[in-house]
Amino acid sequence: HTAGEASLNSTWYTPSLKRGMEEKHSLYFRLMEALDKGQIGVVYQPKFDRLGNVVGAEALARWNDPEYPCSPGTFIPIAEELGLIHKLGLRVLGTVCRDLVQNDILAAANIPISVNCSVRQLDHPDFLRNIHTVLGNYGIAPQRIVFEVTESVFADSGRRLSVLQSLQDNGHLLAIDDFGTGYSSFRYFRDLAPDILKIDQSFVRYIGLDPKCEIIVSSIIDLAHHLGAVVVAEGVETDLHGTWLRDRGCDVFQGYLFSRPLHLRDFLQVFTLGSASRK
Ligand code: C2E
Ligand code: MG
Ligand code: MG
Ligand code: MG
């Protein structure tokens, strides 16, 4: 039986669907437990400016379960769907704040750290208050934290826009993640001035291969600059990507060419070892 056949003649309850639901159910409990036990950690992917200085880093959630390796691409959508993303987001933020406080190198580097933020989190009534509490507990200045949100925040709700404005009013930086892949209505730039636009890696990947993608990337760089935003390229993997983006005026670079996401210990080395170890 092909997948197509199965979906054509299935009632809503099939063995495979049941298996899917059971898997999700067990994933829910495992994720809950992982959150409670502090098994959701973060890795840091450094971001570099045009001169090769580390100017920031993105905190990416990791589920440290040796038995069932599970990537954010799998567990983040499930956390969103099952109502655990708010808790997970606060856990990640708390870990970042703790690392900022506990490590002199990081404290002295004085670079902002980005955390990803799902649309669902913005809808939680305590979102802003909880962030304020976590930062307050660690004594972290709001300027140290960047919130990365995707364009999906602009899909329908004006309330989300005002939550984002509040984040900026409170002193945080705001980045639009995966820019160009979602609901890119330029209208929202009238109401919101993001500090950072991140060019999605699905465009960066085709630099040198697809002239259309090159035009899109150039246009995003120009748009960001005209809007007074810093532009970050994601998924910079090759020398060609790096050189091309540099020549087009891209400000900040993030990708395997420079560094993979790193455990804290290795991330701290980026500051002490200098440029020779950056690749
Ligand atoms: P994102 O925010 O767009 O993060 C960038 C993703 O690209 C990361 O995947 C990163 O490891 C990967 N990446 C970085 N450089 C390169 C490169 O040069 N080439 C390629 N092919 N990939 C690269 P990761 O860590 O698997 O995270 C996937 C997505 O999961 C993130 O995409 C973000 O949307 C979400 N996510 C991760 N952590 C969190 C979190 O704490 N909260 C929320 N809400 N979402 C998160
Ligand atoms: Mg991101
Ligand atoms: Mg992204
Ligand atoms: Mg992405």
Q: What is the pLDDT of residues 201-219, one digit of tens each?
A: 999 999 999 999 999 999 9
Please give the Cα distance from 205 to 148 (Å, whole number): 21
Closest atom of ligand 1 to CA, residue 261:
11
Q: Ligand 1 within 6 A of 14 CB?
A: no
What confidence tier does 191 reach under pLDDT thresholds 50, 70, 90?
confident
In testing the pocket of ligand 1, which one of 234, 240, 245, 253 has its CB within 8 Å of the most ligand atoms?
A: 234
Q: Which amino acid is at 170?
A: N
Nearest to 49 by CA among 219, 217, 252, 215: 252
Q: Which amino acid is at 53?
A: N
Contact 164, 172 (CB under 8 A): no
pLDDT in tens, 58-89: 999 999 887 877 899 989 999 999 899 999 99
List the residue whose alpha carbon is closest to atom 34 of ligand 1: 116
What ipTM did this prediction achieve?
0.98
